[in-house]
Amino acid sequence: MEKIAITKYVRIAPSKAREVARLIQGKPAVAAMTTISLIPRKAARLIEQTLKSAVANAENDEKNGVDRSRLFVKEAVIGEGPTMKRFTPKARGSAGRIRKRSSHIRIIVSDRA
């Protein structure tokens, strides 16, 4: 049984969030939550919220709820969201581009390998 949690349009660059997501892939859900809670980064807080949501989805399933100790993180994917484009003034009347990136976080938890 697999359960999915998705957080969309999160204001963090996907490359920064992928560094944290790699740390939890394939780990048991309880160990992944412990690991994530100790990382002092914005991406860790956002991924932790999504992971908690995925675990809650699996526990509260009406047909076949699963104990959180049996779950593991099957997949943690950080996709690219839309990029906001802004400009800042530069020397001699030119403009410099600023790209404010966003991400979509998708976490799948499963109870079997």
Query: What is the reported pLDDT for 9?
Result: 98
Query: What is the reported pLDDT for 53?
Result: 96
Residue with tokens 């690991």: 35
Q: Where are the domains of the chain?
A: 2-110
Question: Which tens digit of pLDDT belongs to each residue from 51-73?
Answer: 999 999 999 987 888 888 999 99
**Phi–psi pair at 61, nearest 5 degrees:** -65, 135
Q: What is the model's pTM?
A: 0.91
Residues 50 and 6 sit within 8 Å (Cβ to Cβ): yes
Residue with tokens 């950080």: 78
Q: Which CATH superfamily is domain 2-110 in?
A: Ribosomal protein L22/L17 (3.90.470.10)
Full DSSP string of 58-92: HHT-SSS---GGG-EEEEEEEEE---EEEEEE-GG
Give me the residues of the chain with pLDDT under 70, please: 113
The β-bridge partners of 76 are 107
